[in-house]
Structure 1
Amino acid sequence: MLESVLRVAVFFIVCVITSVTAQLVTYNQFVNAVTLSSGYGAPSREQYNNLLNRAGNGQITTKRELAMFLANIIHESAGLTAKEEWGPPPAGTYTSNVDRPGKRYHGRGYIQLTYGYNYKAASEALYRDLRLLDNPDQVKTNDAIAWDTSYWFWSVNVHSAPGVQSGNFGTTIMRINGARECGNRPPNTTAARKRIQIYEAVLESFGIAGRSVYCSNPCDCVIPTGSSGGGGGSSCKQTYTVQSGDSFWAIANTYGMTTAQLQALNPEIGNPSAIYPGQLICVRR
């Protein structure tokens, strides 16, 4: 009984998050984000639908975090054209004690899933079965699953990392490929800076680009945005930075408006009760 209740609760939360995300980005914004940032061709309508419809698996509810996610997978997948590790590597690579006989668990998906134990964990979390462990090729052949596993990785490894919700794009690089692009050894800053360039292009395409900055450490880098991804964009003339203990109602009251008026200035904040410290909210256009 308890398990059934928990499943319903999780399903409801995912549906709410997905409905919020579906309001964030238009198809044209998505196409521009991919083509202008990577130079590759336009993504498909199916990819756009999966970007939005599967987003609940990544806990993403703001335009800024969606831009962070998309910028990284554009970089990882050569503009959403590759869903499998180049090669792929020879048999015997990425082995673990949960592997199925004859199956290989090299990188697949937009954020490449590797090792049998990760296929197993993703499969159990997303589908409550072992379908990805039994048939790992689904991660590259089924576009919805490619998005699911990428969002799962984001939810588990990136979404709640310190700094991500306050706009530190460098933290996302650290969490995804920090061993190669960050750290104490000479980092591959060329790749990290390429991610930042893509992110800035995605922000521009999403209509929330702020001023350009140069980060001496690309793995600790906050790119200012026109809004936090809640709304307002570059047309917002005055923003307010949410402080600890703030409520949407209190902010509206401070600026002499109703919560409905404040939400009209920030139409893409789907859940006003979920605002967080460091978030920028438009208070005047």
Structure 2
Amino acid sequence: MAAAEGAAARALLLAALALAAPWAAAQAQGQFLLSQAQFEQLFPERIAFYTYEGFAQAVRQTPAFAARGSEQQKRQEMAAFLGQIAHESDQLKAQREYRRANWDKYCREQLPGERCAPGQQYYGRGPIQLSWNYQYKAAGEALGLDLWADPDRVARDSTVAWQTALWYWTTQPGVAPQSSHEAMLAGKGFGATTRAINGVIECDQGADPDTLRKLNRRIDFYRRASSLLEVPLSEPLGC
């Protein structure tokens, strides 16, 4: 009984902290969370959809994120995540993928069980531009939502948008050996997070000018986030 009462009291405390100060609630879970002022400073041109409150709530609901290792490692992971989403979402201005000509290109039905919901499109949405039917399905299953049947919820609900970005960051390796979260914990550097997010398109492409521009843009955003959070860069920066 005492243990149950203690757990209930802790849950109430976390709920109260969440209402009073998002960063305090995250800190109570051992997470690092930048302040709202820092968030606004990093994304001064963001659209209203990408709220700090939605981000903070999604962070609290992803307890592994920015919660392991030293304080420096936690800050480095936060900086890397912010740097990557700044590129992916055009500094939190892209709610949906800009290139409408690509919107019907993300339906893969090659593996058993893969299919697409009638009338739905799985183009990039949210801070990390979640794409493809199988990714929406997997993200929805992890979050307890049917994003396969309603992919546009990622572009309508700020917290869900942030949750999908953190889900991908913490669990999905893409073509890399490990997820971005795992790569940062292992000290593999910022470049390893780029490989996990968009390795097929941007890594190992040689000196292609457009690819180099994209990679350098990611790194520049990461430098800004690291400076704001007063944390050393995690190298190597390139993938």
State the match for 1:175 in structure 2.
Answer: 196
Residue type of the partner of 2:159?
A
Tell me: CA distance 1:72–1:30, structure 2 relative to 1, closer, same or farther (3 Å).
same
1:105 maps to which of 115, 122, 125: 122
State the match for 2:17 in structure 1.
Answer: none
Instruction: Say whether the 8 Å CA contact 1:110–1:147 is kept in structure 2.
Output: yes
Partner Cα separation in structure 2 for residue 18 and residue 111 of structure 1: 24
Residue type of the partner of 1:136?
P
Tell me: CA distance 1:19–1:89, structure 2 relative to 1, closer, same or farther (3 Å).
farther
State the match for 1:153 in structure 2.
Answer: 168
Instruction: Say whether the 8 Å CA contact 2:77–2:184 is kept in structure 1.
Output: no
Q: How many residues align?
A: 197
| Alpha-carbon displacement from aligned partner over 1:155-199 (angstroms, at most 9, x marks no partner) | 112245445542601111111111222125545122111111111
**Identity over aligned pairs, percent:** 28
Unaligned runs of 5+ in 1: 1-7, 36-40, 220-285
Residue type of the partner of 1:156?
T
Instruction: Say whether the 8 Å CA contact 1:85–1:112 is kept in structure 2.
Output: yes
Tell me: CA distance 1:58–1:83, structure 2 relative to 1, closer, same or farther (3 Å).
farther
Residue 65 in structure 1 maps to residue 77 in structure 2: yes
Partner Cα separation in structure 2 for residue 94 and residue 190 of structure 1: 24
Deviation at 1:18, TM superposition (A): 7.5
| Alpha-carbon displacement from aligned partner over 1:79-119 (angstroms, at most 9, x marks no partner) | 11112111323564211342111111111111111121111
Residue 203 in structure 1 maps to residue 229 in structure 2: no
Instruction: Say whether the 8 Å CA contact 2:104–2:123 is kept in structure 1.
Output: no
| Alpha-carbon displacement from aligned partner over 1:245-279 (angstroms, at most 9, x marks no partner) | xxxxxxxxxxxxxxxxxxxxxxxxxxxxxxxxxxx
Partner Cα separation in structure 1 for residue 134 and residue 27 of structure 2: 27
Partner Cα separation in structure 2 for residue 218 and residue 72 of structure 1: 13
Instruction: Calculate the aligned-residue CA RMSD, in Å.
Output: 3.0
Instruction: Say whether the 8 Å CA contact 2:26–2:32 is kept in structure 1.
Output: no
Task: Report SS of the residue matched to 2:130.
Answer: coil
Instruction: Say whether the 8 Å CA contact 2:116–2:133 is kept in structure 1.
Output: yes
Unaligned runs of 5+ in 2: 1-6, 15-24, 68-73, 109-113, 173-178
Instruction: Say whether the 8 Å CA contact 1:94–1:116 is kept in structure 2.
Output: yes
Residue type of the partner of 1:193?
N
